[in-house]
Amino acid sequence: MALTREELHHLINQIPDEKLPAIGDLLSRIYEEENIDKEEALEIDAAKKRIANGEYATFDDVFGDLNV
């Protein structure tokens, strides 16, 4: 189902104010994903491959000593 900008604006206007930050963050992420350069795309692909191969750091690995 394709939405027009007008329909999307209408939907956004129906969202409660307290949920707008989350929607704004989501839209920003979508925009950023659509506007990455080739180098960034290659880095993302490489990171996805490392994750698929089990090469990643857990939250505790990264922030464990900070007690967050």
| pTM for the whole structure | 0.44
pLDDT at 1: 66
The domain locations on the chain are: 37-62
pLDDT surpassing 70 at residue 59: yes
pLDDT digits (tens, 9 = 90+) for 27-45: 888 877 777 788 888 888 8
Residue 68 has pLDDT above 60, yes or no: no
CA pair distance 66, 68, nearest whole angstrom: 6
